[in-house]
Amino acid sequence: MENETIPKVEVISYRLYGELWLLAMATSVINRRSEATLAGGGTELTARMAGDMSSPVENSWTIFKEYHIDEDVGFALPYPLEDLPHPYDAWISIARNLPELIKNNQLRVEVEKLATLNINGLRGHRAQRLAHLVLGYITMAYVWGQGDGDIRKVLPSNIAVPYCKLSEKLGLPPILLYADCVLANWKKKDLNGPMTYENMDILFSFPGGDCGKGFFLVSLLVEIAAASAIKVIPSIFDAVQRKDSDTLQKALLEISSSLHKALEVFSQIHKYVDPNLFFNVLRIYLSGWKGNPLLSEGLLYEGIWDTPKKFAGGSAAQSSIFQCFDVLLGIQHSIGGVPADSAAEFLQEMRTYMPPAHHSFLLSLKSKPSVREFVLSEGNATLQEIYNKCVQAMVSLRNYHLQIVAKYIVIPARQQPQVEENLEEENRGTGGTNVMDFLKTVRSKTKNSLLKEE
């Protein structure tokens, strides 16, 4: 297969299409996609995407597969590909050698040598997700360079054009996402071995040694631990419809248990991620160009848009799993569907950074009978207590997240030599928000969802 270049006329027409796509991203990723070609075989998501979650429980995983939810790894991409065919292997080669190329100041030179490839040869969802991951890594490395303030404000067309075109196809923004570096950036060392940190690795790394491996894999394992509760969701809605409090209690206990396991896994971050390496190295490469004073106008995607565009960097708010439990438990961050504050607006915006099938799943949950209202209407003290255990488990996770942010962002920022110039850095997360204010608001809303004793 020869290196294919994109004709000039296609680039021009795609620039116009790119403008329309960006507008759609800002309004509704779901309406934009029509739930089109997704998993490996191209399963088409039809009306069932907003469909009947009250289907028999034994068929639940058939339904979940249409939402790209896996029985073992939840919202993570099961068994990501590690290689791409020629000519896309040129992207893989750069991504695999990223730390060395950056160290030798050769990364940008090698990127600028790349041909502009047509993405039509990327067959299947997993190949496309791998390409999106790889182009995301290359883009972050190209923009931030050696992390010393020598940044690039223009992404050259040989990367920008295929990256934006692939992003449009997947329904994702053209920036490194949580869905890339966490959900699609892993492999097992021993295929028959367990899903444990010791038996896993990441596919691609940034500078900072094993800091990135620790951060991405612990995040993934937290995701997988919490995802084990997804299987009971059909039972929950079935129990609500049948007014079966006993079945609902058992299902909610499973959710509570899974969330507690996720919290236990979360604690591994202290073992595998060094705070100073995270703050001074890895965090730089995860930062986006929205709410970032270093790229206040955004990034110019050459050959696509005539003006710079702003996209948020990877953030835990882009994880579907915890927003899933918010919706399921009726933890309200909005009033009448309208975001109540900037934290709620950010959470809503981050759904457009999720794979469209996952966003659709959250919408399908929202259309179901309210678990919270049923628990309230039953007047069953035991049921309310178990429901509160689930909400409290979410509060505990958000409390812990605040502690992690303090350790890995706030404290290292205060240790920087020119503190007066680092006040913004102290509280800015990779997603571009004031992360402490955001997390405190989300935690407060979660606490407010605890049912009060009569």
- CA quadruple 219, 220, 222, 227: dihedral sign: positive
Whole-angstrom distance, CA of residue 68 vs CA of residue 77: 8
- Cα angle value 167/168/173 (rounded, 5°): 50
Q: What is the CA radius of gyration of the chain?
A: 22
Residue 401 assigned as binding residue: yes
What is residue 201's DSSP assignment? E
Q: Are 116 and 158 in contact (CB under 8 A)?
A: yes
Residue 166 amino acid letter: L
Q: Are 167 and 176 in contact (CB under 8 A)?
A: no
Residue 203 amino acid letter: L
Name residue 74's beta-bridge partners: 70
Choose among 198, 167, 408: nearest CA to 286: 408
- Cα angle value 414/418/420 (rounded, 5°): 75
What is residue 120's DSSP assignment? G
Whole-angstrom distance, CA of residue 367 vs CA of residue 369: 7
Whole-angstrom distance, CA of residue 87 vs CA of residue 90: 6
Binding residues, by number, are: 401
Binding residues for heme b, by number, are: 401
